[in-house]
Structure 1
Amino acid sequence: MNTSTPWRGLWRLSLLILALVVSLGLAQTALAQADPGREAAIAVPALDADVWRQVKNGETGPNYRDSRFDSNYNLINASGETWRQLRDRWVSPFGVIVILGMIAVIGLFYLVFGSKKLDEPRTGRKLLRWSLVIRSLHWTVASLFILLALTGLNLAYGKAIFRPLFGDGFWAAMMSGTKLIHNYLGPLFGILLVILLLRLLAHNIPRKHDLAWFAKGGGLIGKGHPDAGFANAGEKLWYWLLATAGIAVIVSGLVLDFPNYGQGRDTMQWANIIHAVGAFGLTAVALGHIYIGTLGTEASFEAMATGYVDESWAKEHHNLWYEDVKDQAVPEEQLAATRPHSRGEEPTPRSG
């Protein structure tokens, strides 16, 4: 009789139990990875009211601390929840309201007033308004602005719109490209915008007649056109929005773009809020700027497309500037023959 048989059976049973335990552990891990809720339940103990109180008061132990060097933050922190509430309850709805609201206002305005036509026929005599350098800067900054606005809106709302429509794979690839474009073009936009603002500063100093321009709604209220120099009051308002809110968006974007300069989590959270609010607001106002410069006002687009404007347009929309430069008007035929704008001469207007 072989007495080792029971021991062999016991050994096999032990191996079977061990294999069963290991397989159960692997199955549990797989389930946790498939279900974020189960993963959280396995990774950390239950978070009851006492734990949340400790987190809020900073009383938690090392298990709830950030492992980064010289950090005093909790891995579960109240400031992060405050930022999330601000973003979800206020900032994201604000973006939808101002942008869609501006689109609705522009559509209604166009239906009621239509495109603003010139009161007098064109004379065929042209005045140089924008040099080639300024136009190149403008179109580069404008193109970058549109790209950043589109990618920024995708970062803010793309998950809610495109992920359900196209699935995780498409959405993940789109977001990866979106972040790459937004993060790398942002600093370039900031540099070029500052250069453009400096070049246009002299034309955008506020004057007394700007108040009258606002009082007449840019010519929509009452009869006649309000006085305006090289830049009217509406254009100056857009300039100073870019020079204030635009700079705030640029600086906050750089804080987010380069997190390796020691800024804390609270700084990053506030930079995110400032960046989003400023960008949403500027995008909404930019829609109005685009409308006025294209469909909204006859011949306005020609100024930034060719650099030249007709005398009738200049007299009607920028009469003070026109009085300063009217002796520089060139017949359209002569301009077409000589094409002086190809050499990029600077205009010599005064701001009136």
Structure 2
Amino acid sequence: MSYFIDRRLLWRLPLLTLLFAVGLAFSQAVPAQADPDREASLAVPALDADTWRQVRSGEIGPNFRDSRADSTYNLVNASGENWRQLRNRWVSPFGLIAIGGMIVVIALFYLIIGRKDLSGPRTGRKLLRWPLLVRSIHWTVATLFIVLALTGLNLLYGKFVFRPLFGDAVWGAMISASKVSHNYLGPLFGILLIVLLARVLKHNWPKKHDLEWFKKGGGMVGKAHVDAGFANGGEKAWFWLLATVGLVVVVSGFVLDFPNYGQGRDTMQWANILHAVGALGLTAVAVGHIYIGTIGSEGSLEGMTTGYVDETWAKDHHNLWYEEVKDQAVPEQELSVGRPPPDDSEEAATRS
């Protein structure tokens, strides 16, 4: 008898399961057929113009808080829109004017005045100006600066240039690569920049003859020669620009790169504005620095590539420094065959 009871129970189990499934589906379908307007009216109170004005004003109330514990953020953060307007209406145009204007000025200067050539023939005797360590740090920092400048410009202006040309897929890949490169190379640049600034600080303290250098435009105003030590007035100005604005860019970049030290959203927005304005300004000035150090002045690039400069170049650009180290000049032939100069120490190269 128990055998037949068990068999009757077995065929009822699937039926009970089917009935349970049908009932569950029906129970879920009933709310779906409810009136959407009625559901919305029950879920949230009516939102009128006065409510949104309260939200935008920054009032903090139980209906405006977000889900985070002890949060003071309101539903609408008006400062975000202010940041966007400041970035789009002021920062972006400033960058185009600064960098574009510098390129135009340099092009006109080159076409009208041309390259600054040496005042006389080369003597063939060389002076050690930049030791290997300083040159290595300089070129590393310069390379990182160029990469960061290009990736930063792409993040700011790329969507207006590359997106129409190549489409969303290519532009998206460029933006992603730019963002990753910028975020990871930025801290390395900041550390090496500080090392470089500390390394050449002793040559960049302002002196009285620097003021005369600026008055005469580095020798372009009047016919008299302008005095300069190891670093002239323009080089010192570039150094202190990097030591002030450059460090602001570095610090603001660290704030943006590591948003896990308690800084709020408003702090990040201001850091972004300072970072962009400082970086765009430095990029514009760097264009001039690159021009003067390459095609703008004969013999300047040699000093940072080989470490040595010709006596004629030293007398033309840094006559006070030349007077101090002229007895250390060595024939170019000795350098070409790999013979070390009589005094290849860093103190001899940077004495001023």
Q: Do the structures match in fold with TM over 0.5? A: yes
Deviations 1:161-197 (A, max 9, x none): 2222222221211111111100000000000000000
Query: Which TM-score applies when normalising by structure 1?
Result: 0.84
| Structure (1 or 2) with the larger CA radius of gyration | 2
Secondary structure, counterpart of 1:340 in structure 2: coil
Per the alignment, residue 33 of structure 1 pairs with none
Structure 1 letter corresponding to 2:250: I
Asked if 1:255 corresponds to 2:255, the answer is: yes
Per the alignment, residue 311 of structure 1 pairs with 311
| Distance verdict in 2 for CA 1:349–1:191, change over 3 Å | same
**In 2, Cα distance between equivalents of 1:241 and 1:60:** 43
Answer with 308-317 or 77-86: which moved more.
77-86
Answer with 288-297 or 79-88: which moved more.
79-88
Secondary structure, counterpart of 2:260 in structure 1: helix
Segments of structure 2 that go 5 or more residues without pairing to the other structure are: 1-21, 37-43
Per the alignment, residue 336 of structure 1 pairs with 336
> Equivalences for 1:89-238 in 2 at 5 Å?
89-238=89-238
Per the alignment, residue 243 of structure 1 pairs with 243
Per the alignment, residue 57 of structure 1 pairs with 57
**In 2, Cα distance between equivalents of 1:299 and 1:207:** 25
**In 2, Cα distance between equivalents of 1:337 and 1:231:** 30
Per the alignment, residue 269 of structure 2 pairs with 269
Shift of 1:46: 9.6
Per the alignment, residue 297 of structure 2 pairs with 297
Q: CA RMSD in A?
A: 2.5
Contact 1:102–1:285 under 8 Å retained in 2: yes
Secondary structure, counterpart of 1:206 in structure 2: coil
Aligned length: 316
**In 2, Cα distance between equivalents of 1:123 and 1:347:** 23
> Equivalences for 1:58-97 in 2 at 5 Å?
58-59=58-59, 61-62=61-62, 64-97=64-97
Structure 2 letter corresponding to 1:311: E
Shift of 1:212: 0.3
Secondary structure, counterpart of 2:346 in structure 1: coil
Contact 1:103–1:287 under 8 Å retained in 2: yes
Per the alignment, residue 3 of structure 1 pairs with none
Structure 2 letter corresponding to 1:58: G
**In 2, Cα distance between equivalents of 1:47 and 1:321:** 75
| Distance verdict in 2 for CA 1:266–1:47, change over 3 Å | farther
**In 2, Cα distance between equivalents of 1:216 and 1:247:** 29
Contact 1:126–1:330 under 8 Å retained in 2: yes
**In 1, Cα distance between equivalents of 2:69 and 2:260:** 12
| Distance verdict in 2 for CA 1:104–1:65, change over 3 Å | farther
**In 2, Cα distance between equivalents of 1:120 and 1:168:** 56
Secondary structure, counterpart of 2:309 in structure 1: strand
Per the alignment, residue 37 of structure 1 pairs with none
Contact 2:324–2:351 under 8 Å retained in 1: no
